[in-house]
Amino acid sequence: MKVQSTSPIVVVANRLPFCLGTNPETGQLVRKQCAGGLVTAVAPVVVETQGLWVGWSGLHLEDNNVAIPEADPNDQTPTAGLKSNQVLPVNVPKKLFDDYYNGCCNATFWPLFHSMPDRATFQADKWDAYRQMNAEFARLTVEAVKRLSETHPGEVPLVWLHDYHMMLAANTIREKCDELNLPIKMAFFLHIPFPSWDIVRLFPWDDELLQGILGCDSIGFHIEDYCLNFIDCCQRRLGCRVDRQQMLVEHNSRTVSINPLPISIPYERFVQLAEKAPQVVKNNLHEQLLLAVDRLDYTKGLVHRIKAFETLLQKHPEQIEHVTFLQVAVPSRTDVKEYQELKEELDQIIGRINGRFSTPNWSPIRYIYGCVSQDQLAAFYRDASVAVVTPLRDGMNLVAKEFVACQTGEPGVLILSPFAGAGTSMHEALHVNPYETNEFADTIYRALTMPKDERELRMKLLRRREREYDVNFWLRSFLKTVDCLNDDNKSMAPG
């Protein structure tokens, strides 16, 4: 069902909903898709409300201010309807962008918000670059609101800020729009965890950060725990009056609502992909397939998982030649040293385990380091006996949900970490602490040997929940929090 918003939406995110690349034949700049769940869900609403999207195009000021191309006439993707004049690209010098993106977003907020403070760096100059970049995102957003006041007179636009890249933009946008007498609604959604006060207080400019987020009218996190952490920080650091029951925070004479909004996937699209995708795995591999799919990131627990698989083979030698572990890892932040080191560690450990257990006809671990197509991914999900989704910490984790949606054939088993947001609602998965290697190996064994009727029941319940609470449900729930939903379809939140 189509989700309709009563207001034109301005999405403000670090990235535009497509990347720019050069067509090798014509040499011209073209749009390339990044078909994430968020873009699939949100882009149609921006198109339909004739809204705008503010973000970085992948180019810098030094690239000579290249114009955004129109979509290819054959483009069938959700962003195809987005005209080039609906996109406001952020264009800044490379050094400023690097300091903000690598120096602050990825080196400070990413590890800190995943409760890994020892990996975080706190540098005043990088924080300053973050401030400057947020001011630039804010400037373009005000530009977008001005344009909408001309094309949609009398309507109040909804400005929707996304993620940890955009935590300081709200107050600047609000002040400028007030000055220009442009009414707006403003919301923020965080895609990663919001950690506890003990962690947040390590950030030297924590008060500025919290006040930045509180500039919005409605703030969304994936799960209740993150909401409560945020409320706790506002009370303890800023002395705000809070209502934990109703999830409200008073700040600067405004009342801000905090909302648990568990993100999800376009469920039906994954079902269709799985139903159509050709078989790519079972004929080549031995009997049971254990699958893991992640961005190659230290929060995703890849090394812990592979060690647990090694322990399984050690404890259950009868599984040798009967189970294969397929790890698909998308390269991520490849210019950052920590990510390069993780890749080396993974290469080494996989090599060691394969050397230790391989037989002439079988290797225990298959490892794809790269992006796979959506078709291929759906086939992997469909044909896997067990998916192992065991991050050390994760805002939500969409892989767990995509696996469940694609399980259209013989039912498999989901192993899930309680440290992923998804762990709070996907009750029928087998939950395991990724740090407990022995227990982890036993859980894999239990999954591999689970009777069919139990697998069927668990998968049926998991699929039912994900079908109902898909990404459109998330979008509708969000629009309700800002009174912008043009639809009276009511449902309970996921239990």
Footprint on this chain of ligand ADQ (rule: CB under 6 A) = 36-37, 191-192, 263, 293-295, 328, 330, 371-372, 377, 394-399, 402
Output the smallest distance, CB 193 to ligand ADQ, in A.
Answer: 8
Q: Are 219 and 256 in contact (CB under 8 A)?
A: yes
Q: Of 296 and 444, which CB lies nearer to ligand ADQ in the complex structure?
A: 296
Q: Of 157 and 395, which CB lies nearer to ligand ADQ in the complex structure?
A: 395
Q: Of 394 and 466, which CB lies nearer to ligand ADQ in the complex structure?
A: 394
Output the smallest distance, CB 397 to ligand ADQ, in A.
Answer: 5
Q: Are 75 and 44 in contact (CB under 8 A)?
A: no
Q: Of 171 and 397, which CB lies nearer to ligand ADQ in the complex structure?
A: 397
* Phi, psi (deg, nearest 5) at residue 220: -115, 140
Using CB atoms within 10 Å of the CB of residue 391, give its burial: 0 to 12 exposed, 13 to 18 middle, 19+ buried.
buried
Beta-ladder partners of 159: 10, 186
Q: Of 96 and 161, which CB lies nearer to ligand ADQ in the complex structure?
A: 161
The DSSP 8-state label assigned to residue 420 in this structure reads B
Using the structure block, give the residue that is written with the tokens 């405004």. Answer: 254
Using CB atoms within 10 Å of the CB of residue 328, give its burial: 0 to 12 exposed, 13 to 18 middle, 19+ buried.
buried
Whether the CA torsion 23, 26, 30, 36 is positive or negative: it is negative
Q: Do you know the residue count of the chain?
A: 495
Q: Of 263 and 441, which CB lies nearer to ligand ADQ in the complex structure?
A: 263
Radius of gyration of the chain (CA): 23
Q: Which two tokens stand for residue 177?
A: 């729009």
Taking the C-alpha atoms of residue 474 and residue 488, their distance in angstroms, rounded to an integer, is 14
Taking the C-alpha atoms of residue 196 and residue 199, their distance in angstroms, rounded to an integer, is 6
Taking the C-alpha atoms of residue 17 and residue 140, their distance in angstroms, rounded to an integer, is 16
Output the smallest distance, CB 433 to ligand ADQ, in A.
Answer: 18
Output the smallest distance, CB 350 to ligand ADQ, in A.
Answer: 16
Tell me the H-state helices in 75-205.
Answer: 94-98, 110-113, 124-151, 169-179, 197-200
Q: Of 234 and 396, which CB lies nearer to ligand ADQ in the complex structure?
A: 396
Output the smallest distance, CB 255 to ligand ADQ, in A.
Answer: 26
Q: Which of 330, 332, 430, 353 is nearest to 388 (CA)?
A: 430
Output the smallest distance, CB 220 to ligand ADQ, in A.
Answer: 10
Q: Are 308 and 448 in contact (CB under 8 A)?
A: no
Output the smallest distance, CB 233 to ligand ADQ, in A.
Answer: 20
Longest distance between any two alpha carbons in the chain, whole Å? 74
Taking the C-alpha atoms of residue 2 and residue 212, their distance in angstroms, rounded to an integer, is 32
Taking the C-alpha atoms of residue 176 and residue 179, their distance in angstroms, rounded to an integer, is 5
Q: Of 105 and 148, which CB lies nearer to ligand ADQ in the complex structure?
A: 105
Q: Of 126 and 401, which CB lies nearer to ligand ADQ in the complex structure?
A: 401
Terminal C-alpha separation, the chain: 22
Output the smallest distance, CB 323 to ligand ADQ, in A.
Answer: 21
Q: Of 311 and 397, which CB lies nearer to ligand ADQ in the complex structure?
A: 397
Output the smallest distance, CB 156 to ligand ADQ, in A.
Answer: 26
Which one-letter amino acid corresponds to residue 73?
A: P
Using the structure block, give the residue that is written with the tokens 């998804």. Answer: 422
Output the smallest distance, CB 52 to ligand ADQ, in A.
Answer: 21
Output the smallest distance, CB 419 to ligand ADQ, in A.
Answer: 11
The DSSP 8-state label assigned to residue 105 in this structure reads I
Q: Of 238 and 368, which CB lies nearer to ligand ADQ in the complex structure?
A: 368
